[in-house]
Amino acid sequence: MSNFDVIVLGSGPGGYVTAIRASQLGFKTAIIEKENLGGVCLNWGCIPTKALLKSAQVFEYLKHAGDYGLSAENVDKDFDAVVKRSRSVADGMSKGVQFLMKKNKIEVLNGYGTLQAGKKVSVKDADGKETEYSADHIIIATGARSRELPSLPQDGKKIIGYREAMTLKEQPKKMVVVGSGAIGIEFAYFYNAMGTEVTVVEYLPSIVPVEDEDISKQLERSLKKVGIKIKTSAEVTSVDTSGEGVKATVKTAKGEEILEADIVLSAVGIKTNIENIGLENVGISTDRDKILVNSYYQTNIPGYYAIGDVTPGQALAHVASAEGILCVEKIADMHVEPLDYGNIPGCTYCTPEIASVGLTEKQAKEKGLDIKVGKFPFSASGKAKAAGTPDGFVKVIFDAKYGEWLGCHMIGAGVTDMIAEAVVARKLETTGHEILKAVHPHPTMSEAVMEAVAAAYDEVIHL
């Protein structure tokens, strides 16, 4: 039996980052992966979807070349080539993780890992051979997969999840997307931009329901403007796949209607990968599909830890990475502070993009806070107008008494690259007046942050 200081089960953005940090701290480290290094994020999630979305964005630019005084004739897309580019980007990133494993002297154990009592893990390789390994610290980072609804059983052909949505052999003419979170909206935008007729069905009253209400309304307007049909307060109660396509029965306040499509994409959330990994062998506690951990990701059993989607925090790649780093630094007896889950940015990469952090206006009011709210539209931004991307705005929320930056919500071109300003400022407990006095470069999209803050304090210049 091989002995390690740290074994990480799963190599997604939580797992591989954890393993690298553990190695940097001097721990003899191994990582277990049953599929491809990088996990869902690098291979089937964050990275390949962004490659698809970039192709869609370029295609839209070409179709609207005339708006920029340019001429582009016979513009068309090669759907298969778009998919192949996405897969190539993912493969390159996975190879990059392989390089990082070698560089940091981390042993990669290929196979299916199962936890055992006594700080051990058994790994079954592709040939069925089982090998047992031990470690002082075992970190579970097995992530999650597409959740299935009883009324929407995925068959991988007509009713699909995000994996199949990234590698379809043929572009569907009609698609129904069930769920309007980040995954659903991103795919709705991509397929619509490629020329598919898309309908989004959302159970709750507004799309991207975790976002500020103003963001949800603006996104709905923007998506409808490009031809995406949206049905909110709607539920798919059944699907019929017996014919050539799919017939989805949708229940709304107005009654039932049948939507016909080639494919239904189920994007109704995720299911954690905590089954059949040996939690019961060890006695690790779970609750509502999550592994219970403390602020430093220790489970109820000493020597076993869990990070990422399998724990109760936000199911985001950057959260998993941060949790893993914090976990191993605590193991190394470094001084670490628990993660502030109230200061985690969320991003959706459709067009226009969405980025947000902190409280929504509604949440701030529900807390009984006296607030100042400022908005600045990109239609008043010189950079946005010059770029031909005037849709959207920046919205900021401050505590009226102390100036604390309670929340920041953005919708527009490139805002996923802008939200970090608010995250860092909130981490440093920066006030609204300090943001106002921090000189922002002109002309940039980021000026809109300063202008939105100025609007909150009745000092806005360009609106």
Catalytic positions: 442
Residue 196 CB partners (closer than 8 Å, separation 6+): 171, 172, 173, 174, 175
Residue with tokens 């055992």: 116
Q: Amino acid identity of 34?
A: K
The three-class DSSP label of residue 73 is coil
The Cα 409–Cα 393 span in angstroms is: 8
Residue with tokens 């708006």: 67
141: nearest Cα among 314, 11, 334: 11
The Cα 97–Cα 104 span in angstroms is: 10
For residue 223, the tally of other CB atoms under 10 A from its CB is 23
Q: Are 433 and 373 in contact (CB under 8 A)?
A: no
Q: What DSSP character marks residue 253?
A: T
For residue 441, the tally of other CB atoms under 10 A from its CB is 8
Own/partner pairs for 145-151, CB < 8 Å, 24+ apart? 145/40, 145/270, 145/271, 145/273, 146/266, 146/267, 146/270, 146/271, 147/266, 147/268, 147/269, 147/270, 147/271, 148/266, 148/271, 149/178, 149/236, 149/266, 149/268, 151/236, 151/237, 151/238, 151/239
Torsion sign (Cα): 345, 347, 353, 356: negative
Torsion sign (Cα): 285, 286, 291, 292: negative
